[in-house]
Structure 1
Amino acid sequence: MTSSLVLRSSLSLPTLVAQAGPRAEMRFLEFFAATIRNPNTRRAYAKAAGDCLAWCLDHGVSDLAEIAPIHIAAWIETLGQSLSPPSVKQRLAAVRHLFDWLVTGQVIATNPAASVRGPAHSARQGKTPVLDAQEARALLDAIDATTPVGLRDRALIGLMIYSFARVGAALAMKREDVFVQGRRLWLRLHEKGGKRHEMPCHHQLDDYLTAYIEGCALSEGRGPLFRTVARGTGRLSDTPLSQSEAHAMVRRRARAAGIETRIGNHSFRATGITTYLKNGGTLENAAAMANHSSTRTTQLYDRRRDEISLAEVERVRI
């Protein structure tokens, strides 16, 4: 009940759900409270559900039980005009799971999204922009490490490159998640699905993290590892850095280093994996280091083919 009340205050209840009565409202809120633990997934699913139900209301559906497969199919067709196939498939999955939950809770009789097919999509390589080793080195070297902000930014970017960490896992780290084991600095990352992943630090990352922790006097404990800067002081606060703030920092640092590639938080994971594989690393070990359950996922981050394609294009000599 507490989780539902918290969600009620943070979620905008769709009109069709509110009109369906208290039972539908509670079942709708329980879907997000009981079945989704990841806050990013919860936010994405809530947006998809809200958009879908608002679209149905705008197109003549006056009751939750009136939503039919044709409405969901038309909504998906509309989304396909502005979103990529993976984004459309994610939104379809969100509403399909929501309607399943409403069916099992006897709020509606059938799932209108169950028979709707999403757009075809097959990816052998990811689209995340990556840096080559020289660009990544230039980016790290361009950061002024004489300030707390510079020490933090260099440590965060270095962590994502050298440990293949997702930005969400990096920003969720506590100070205690950097620890010494066997005379070496280790990381403890909390990945998707509650998975805990521990790995030793690359020697360069060891230097970055040690300089950051000692330079900013981060004491042992459960405080966030990567923090915002207190306004007007230039010093770190006790507030954890958010993903949007990290993205803004990355873009700012890239511009300062003269890097024109439109990189984001996720670029460093792909950069680290690609560089590792270029230097003789195996796909299996890369998957283990990235905490991927399948090497097929790791292959999406392998961008070595980009260089092969460029070399072949240059063979067209006219």
Structure 2
Amino acid sequence: MPSQSVPALYAGDDHAARRTVEFFTAHVRNPNTRKAYAKAAAEFASWCKTVGIEDLRLVQPVHVATWVEGLELAAPSVKLRLAAIRMLFDWLVVGQVIPMNPASSVRGPRHSVKKGKTPVLGADEARELLDAIDTTSLVGLRDRALIGLMVYTFARVGAVIKMRVEDVYVQNRRTWVRLHEKGGKRHEMPCHHNLDEYLHAYMTAAGLDAAKGYLFRSAVGRTGQLTEKPMSQSDVYRMIGRRAIKAGIATKIGCHTFRATGITEYLRNGGKLEVAQQMANHESARTTGLYDRRDDQVSLDEVERIMI
């Protein structure tokens, strides 16, 4: 967030403006979190302006609570916005911009989640999707390898698109992949035999030999030729949509679908939750449990017992 774009609420003086910019540049390192928090901070500043609050030091807990109550959003979105404001004000308190954090005592809406909302595919659907990809083209080989990587390693798309050629390597006669996850964490996983095949077929066809070059590269229009630039997250999302339509998959899937699909199938076939947690590089087994959709099949089987 450049200093010239800091909302007036946080730019009462040079020190406040500089401290606000530092929060979004030096303190919040994840680009997605930074974008979400900046949006929340701007929304709160806009609300304050509408109610006549132009000085940050005039903001009281009742103002933050009133703003939160007026947000017509789902509970997780409200909690995210409140967390953003709370963290920003903490940073400003430490920087001696304001004497106290007016958001610290404000409670957000209750929200309990036992099952995630990420759409998942059955093993047969995932197989159909992979088999439907035309691997006579370089782009097809790339797409199959990319989707296979997310399925078999439970990788986040953000980690996949940052991979370099050197992040696919051989150790003890087995192909491994190195993922650079959130928070600068490095996560290494051995390859499933299908993924091993997909990766090497793609890398051989593409002639990827520059170790520092990106692994999954964008294509030049419809030419099928790859550039030196990496695919973006939106590139991957659009590609998945096209591949799903071509495979006849009606489920509205996204990048995270394959992480949830891989975890669910691993657990369904006797895998252990704590091992799935390590494979997915989750801090908590509870987070991994949100991706466990085995009960969906149980529910479906039970519904079919209604013989009407």
Give the TM-score normalised by structure 1. Answer: 0.93
Secondary structure of the equivalent of 1:239? strand
Q: Which amino acid aligns with 1:69?
A: P
| 1:114 equivalent in alignment to 2:104 | yes
Aligned mates of 1:104, 1:97 — CA distance in 2? 11
Q: What are structure 1's unaligned runs of at least 5 residues? A: 1-6
Aligned counterpart, 2:83: 93
Aligned counterpart, 1:12: 5
Matches within 5 A, 1:1-318: 7-8=1-2, 12-18=5-11, 20-79=12-71, 81=72, 83-231=73-221, 233-318=223-308
Q: What's the C-alpha RMSD, in Å, of the aligned pairs?
A: 1.4
Q: Which amino acid aligns with 2:48?
A: C
Aligned mates of 2:208, 2:49 — CA distance in 1? 52
Aligned mates of 2:80, 2:165 — CA distance in 1? 34
**1:33 deviation in Å?**
2.0
Secondary structure of the equivalent of 1:302? coil
Secondary structure of the equivalent of 1:136? helix
Q: Which amino acid aligns with 1:48?
A: A
Identity of aligned residues (%): 62
**1:292 deviation in Å?**
1.4
Change beyond 3 A, Cα 1:296–1:15: same
Aligned mates of 2:89, 2:140 — CA distance in 1? 47
Secondary structure of the equivalent of 2:213? coil
Aligned mates of 1:122, 1:40 — CA distance in 2? 23
Aligned mates of 2:13, 2:8 — CA distance in 1? 10
Q: Deviations over 1:85-116 (max 9, x none)?
A: 11211111111000011111111122111111
Aligned mates of 2:226, 2:47 — CA distance in 1? 44
Aligned counterpart, 1:4: none
Q: Which amino acid aligns with 1:8?
A: P
Secondary structure of the equivalent of 1:197? strand
Secondary structure of the equivalent of 1:238? strand
Aligned mates of 2:80, 2:277 — CA distance in 1? 24
Aligned mates of 1:131, 1:98 — CA distance in 2? 39
Q: Which amino acid aligns with 2:288?
A: T
Aligned mates of 2:239, 2:9 — CA distance in 1? 40
Is the Cα contact below 8 Å between 2:150 and 2:157 reproduced in 1? Answer: yes
Secondary structure of the equivalent of 1:123? coil
**1:78 deviation in Å?**
2.5
Aligned mates of 1:311, 1:89 — CA distance in 2? 35
Q: Deviations over 1:260-303 (max 9, x none)?
A: 11111000000000011111111111111111122111100000
Secondary structure of the equivalent of 1:99? helix
**1:126 deviation in Å?**
0.5
Aligned mates of 1:75, 1:252 — CA distance in 2? 40
Secondary structure of the equivalent of 2:70? helix
Q: Which amino acid aligns with 1:206?
A: D
Aligned mates of 1:77, 1:248 — CA distance in 2? 36
Q: Which amino acid aligns with 1:245?
A: D
Q: What are structure 2's unaligned runs of at least 5 residues? A: none
Count of matched residue pairs: 308
Secondary structure of the equivalent of 1:97? helix
**1:232 deviation in Å?**
5.8
Secondary structure of the equivalent of 1:292? coil
Secondary structure of the equivalent of 1:52? helix
Runs of 4+ in structure 1 off by over 4 angstroms are none
Secondary structure of the equivalent of 2:42? helix
Aligned mates of 2:153, 2:51 — CA distance in 1? 48
Give the TM-score normalised by structure 2. Answer: 0.96
Is the Cα contact below 8 Å between 1:15 and 1:54 reproduced in 2? Answer: no
Aligned mates of 1:223, 1:92 — CA distance in 2? 40
Secondary structure of the equivalent of 1:198? strand
Secondary structure of the equivalent of 2:177? strand
Is the Cα contact below 8 Å between 2:8 and 2:54 reproduced in 1? Answer: no
